[in-house]
Copies of this chain bind each other. A is one copy, B any other.
Amino acid sequence: MSQERTEIGSLGEFGLIDHLTKNIDLQNATTILGVGDDAAVIDHFGKQTVITTDLLLEDVHFDLMYTPLKHLGYKSVVVNLSDIYAMNATPTQITMSIGISNRFSVEALEEFYEGVYAACAKYGVDLVGGDTCTSKKGLVISVTAIGEVAPDKFVKRSTAKKGDLVCVSGDLGAAYVGLLFMEREKKIFLESPQVQPDLEGESYVIGRLLKPEARKDIVDFLSDAEIIPTSMMDISDGLSSEILHICKQSRLGCVLYEEKIPVHEEMKKAVFKFEMDPTACALSGGEDYELLFTIDPTEYEKLVLNEQISVVGYMTDEEAGAKIITKGGNTHPIKAQGWVHL
* Cβ-based interface call for A310 (8 A): no
Residues of B within 8 A of A190 (CB): none
- Whether the pair B60, A16 counts as a contact (CB closer than 8 A) is no
Neighbouring B residues of A138 by C-beta, 8 Å: 136-137
Chain multiplicity (copies): 2
Q: Is the CB of B52 within 8 A of A129?
A: yes
- Please tell me if the beta carbons of A60 and B99 are within 8 angstroms of each other in the complex: yes
A133 and B60 in contact, given A55-B140, A142-B55 (Cβ under 8 angstroms): yes
A17 within 8 A of B: yes
CB atoms of B104 and A8 under 8 A apart? yes
Instruction: Give the size category of A's interface with B.
Output: 35 or more
- Closest Cβ of chain B to A70, distance in Å, is 9
Contact residue among B42, B55, B92 (Cβ-Cβ distance under 8 Å from A128): B42
- The CA of A34 and the CA of B201, in the complex, are separated in Å by 42
Could you tell me if B126 and A28 are in contact, using CB atoms closer than 8 angstroms? yes
**Interface assignment of A106: CB less than 8 Å from any CB of chain B:** yes
**A46 and B46 form a contact (CB under 8 A):** yes
Instruction: Using CB atoms and an 8 Å cutoff, list the residues of chain A in contact with chain B.
Output: 1-2, 4-11, 13, 16-17, 19-21, 23-24, 26-28, 30-31, 33-35, 39-40, 42, 44-47, 49, 51-55, 57, 59-61, 69, 92-93, 95, 97-100, 102, 104-111, 113, 117, 120-121, 124-138, 140, 142, 144, 146, 148, 339, 341-342
Which residues from B are CB-within-8-Å of A5? Answer: 105, 107
A108 to B1, Cβ gap below 8 A?
Answer: yes
Nearest Cβ distance between residue A144 and chain B, in whole angstroms?
4
Contact between chains at B105 and A28 (CB < 8 Å): no
B99 touches A55 (CB 8 A): yes
Give me the 4 closest cross-chain CB pairs, A-B, nearest first.
A44-B44, A40-B128, A142-B142, A137-B137
- Asked if residues A57 and B124 are in contact (CB atoms below 8 Å), the reply is no
Contact A93-B55, Cβ < 8 Å, known A1-B108, A8-B105, A8-B106: no
A80 and chain B: residue at smallest CB distance:
B131
Q: Which of B4, B47, B125, B135 contacts A107 (CB 8 A)?
A: B4
Taking CB atoms, residues of chain B closer than 8 Å to A46 are: 44-46
CB pair A128 B47 closer than 8 Å: no
* CA–CA, A52 and B7, complex, Å: 33
Name the residue of chain B whose CB is nearest to the CB of A108: B1
State which of B35, B105, B108 has its C-beta within 8 Å of the C-beta of A129: B35
A89, B156: Cα distance in complex, Å: 29
Structural contact, B95 and A51, CB atoms closer than 8 A: yes
A39 touches B93 (CB 8 A): no
- Chain B residues near A127 (CB-CB < 8 A): 21, 24, 34-35
Contact B144 A57 (CB under 8 A): no
